[in-house]
Amino acid sequence: MPMGLECDVLVAGSGASGFAAALTAAIDGLDVIMVEKADVFGGTTCFSAGVIWIPGSRQAREAGISDSREGVLSYLQAEAGNRLDRDKAEAFADNAASILDWFEANSHVSYMLSPAWSDYHPGQPGASKGGRSLGPRPFDGRTLGKWFDKLRPPLKTTTILGGMMVGREDLPQFFTMTKKLSSAQHVAKLFLRYAKDRVSYSRGTRLSNGNALVAMLARSAFERGVKLMLKTPVVELMTETGRVTGAVVEGPEGRRTIRARKAVVLACGGFPANDELRARLYDHVAAGKNHRTVAPADNTGDGIRLGRSLNVAVVEGQAQPAAWVPVSLVPQPDGTTIPFPHFIDRGKAGYIAVDKRGRRFINEAMSYHDFVPAMVEACRDDPDVHCHVICDSAGIRAYGLGAAPPRPGRLGPHIASGYIKRADTLTELAALCGIDAKGLSQTVSRLNKGAALGEDPEFGKGTDPYQRFNGSIGRSPNPCVAPIDRGPFYAVRLVPGDIGTFIGMRTDAHARALDTSGQPVAGLYVVGNDAASFMGGTYPGAGITLGPALVFGHLAARHISVGN
């Protein structure tokens, strides 16, 4: 066995939650080692949009948006009911904004507000119609030096030309580049930077979304002396007289011990890629139905297994076991598929989702977390769960469909691969997709009648600020509704998916792991998706996993550094 290592804090996992803990501890003067199972760092966070839900931020206040502790807590209470972990919710509400300020003052982390980004259920008490969700500013990957190549790339299906990132904040410019000069200039600049990058780098270095967040945290952590070891999973926790004192890791040179003088932080990103746990804990999978995670294959629930070995409690009774998203599967040249998460296109005007009977089953502009259970229910008696999102030529030209880009992007390859179905009539499209043609035609006739007036009598699409936020730019009176009447018509097939898990270990407001009798396990902290969602498996707004990942990562490190 190679020589053991020693540090103050050992962090397992290099996503947002692990880096938040590692960076804070390092800034507090502690000696930190971070170990990562994969050969790249950044975890699911690198695939994400990097959005954080942080109520009452400086950015919101500067935009004139006021918020209150009571408002935040009553919204969380209304969403999660008796599943809300009140202690953690209060710790979050009390600390989130000042912790974001702290990261911005002490590191490269930098966030901007998207003022119109409403909470997902704006009709609930305490909900905000905009001001709690922030996105990362683009970050220059070149400043990571040799580590740039080890940063997990974004999902391939969400990049352009095989490696150019498009930030959430760039999307409006892409959607209006054929109509507005300023948008065209913005997009042209992005392409130019990308072309230059590709002379020296394997992908674009203008990082946005979750890649930007991880790069900001990682650069700061490296500057503060955090040591990162890749391909080195924690396989076992070490204890002495009931206290966690380190871990056994399995690295390229074999097994070794890492002694942690103060604490071990588990930040292994939950279990979205664990087949066995999914089959037990996701109802539709337990019923034999299909499912596809968007999270990386390394997130197999190691943290939970390690915690369980020390009797740490797992909170299973969440409203939903995971954060759902409908995905389409994009065929790759090698015969595999890569999931594309459908966060936005469903909400646009002239897009509907139908089951195989040709019926709509939900207001398509509702959040992804709400969409999937409705899809599962609509397919209750079917052998698998799927639906199709359908639009016409006006829609696809303006907004694309799934991974197929809007004009002037190329649709041809997606039609050739069978990912997108195209037909001159809705009857032919229905036949291509295995949808009942009569059902689809009746659904579209009903939709078109209401859409002429900007209404959706059947499902009320476009009736709240969250839905309108994702609607078609500049369309009034209802940005989420338009007739589907200009052939050819297009469809893409969606199946249930997830972006991470909500079931996880029980922790307190300092992120200490709690055992089955509610007592802290000395020396053990759990953050990110390894910890149970304190929102009880509900999804109140954009950024509700990464906001808490930063906040509880920070609080864990603070508790460790003051001594415990």
> Which residues contribute to the site for ligand FAD (CB under 6 A)?
12-18, 35-38, 43-45, 47-51, 155, 210, 233-234, 267-269, 294-295, 298-299, 302, 341, 499-500, 528-529, 543-546, 549
Nearer to ligand FAD, 263 or 444 (CB): 263
Q: Residue 248 Cβ, how far from ligand FAD at the closest point, in Å?
A: 11
Number of CB atoms found within 10 A of residue 169's CB: 16
CA distances from 506 to 73, 157, 206, 207 (A): 20, 34, 38, 34
Number of CB atoms found within 10 A of residue 202's CB: 12
Q: N- to C-terminal Cα distance for the chain?
A: 31
Q: Residue 192 Cβ, how far from ligand FAD at the closest point, in Å?
A: 27
Q: Residue 250 Cβ, how far from ligand FAD at the closest point, in Å?
A: 9
Q: Residue 176 Cβ, how far from ligand FAD at the closest point, in Å?
A: 22
Nearer to ligand FAD, 160 or 423 (CB): 160
Distance CA 373, CA 330 (A): 22
Distance CA 190, CA 195 (A): 9
- Asked if 16 and 266 count as a contact pair (C-beta separation under 8 A), the reply is no
Q: Which tokens is 480 given?
A: 């989420």
- Asked if 16 and 53 count as a contact pair (C-beta separation under 8 A), the reply is no
Distance CA 484, CA 77 (A): 39
Length of the chain: 564
Closest residue to ligand FAD using C-beta atoms: 15
Nearer to ligand FAD, 136 or 395 (CB): 136
Distance CA 364, CA 492 (A): 14
Q: What is the 8-class DSSP label of residue 491? A: E
Q: Residue 40 Cβ, how far from ligand FAD at the closest point, in Å?
A: 8
Q: Residue 406 Cβ, how far from ligand FAD at the closest point, in Å?
A: 19
Q: What is the 8-class DSSP label of residue 155? A: P
Strand ranges inside 13-90, DSSP E: 32-35, 52-53
Nearer to ligand FAD, 176 or 367 (CB): 367
Q: Residue 498 Cβ, how far from ligand FAD at the closest point, in Å?
A: 8
Residue 53: beta bridge partners?
Answer: 133
Which is it for the CA torsion 543, 546, 548, 554, positive or negative? negative
* Chain centre distance of CA 386: 21
- Asked if 127 and 121 count as a contact pair (C-beta separation under 8 A), the reply is yes
Nearer to ligand FAD, 214 or 353 (CB): 214
- Asked if 294 and 499 count as a contact pair (C-beta separation under 8 A), the reply is yes
Q: Residue 44 Cβ, how far from ligand FAD at the closest point, in Å?
A: 3
Nearer to ligand FAD, 310 or 432 (CB): 310
- Asked if 114 and 543 count as a contact pair (C-beta separation under 8 A), the reply is no
Nearer to ligand FAD, 47 or 525 (CB): 47
Q: Residue 563 Cβ, how far from ligand FAD at the closest point, in Å?
A: 25
Nearer to ligand FAD, 294 or 447 (CB): 294
Q: Residue 529 Cβ, how far from ligand FAD at the closest point, in Å?
A: 4
Nearer to ligand FAD, 404 or 499 (CB): 499
Residue 72 neighbours by CB under 8 Å, 6+ apart: 55, 56, 93, 126, 132
Strands 32-35 and 227-229: parallel
- Which SS3 state, helix, strand or coil, does residue 84 take? coil
Q: Residue 132 Cβ, how far from ligand FAD at the closest point, in Å?
A: 12
Nearer to ligand FAD, 375 or 482 (CB): 375
Nearer to ligand FAD, 342 or 422 (CB): 342
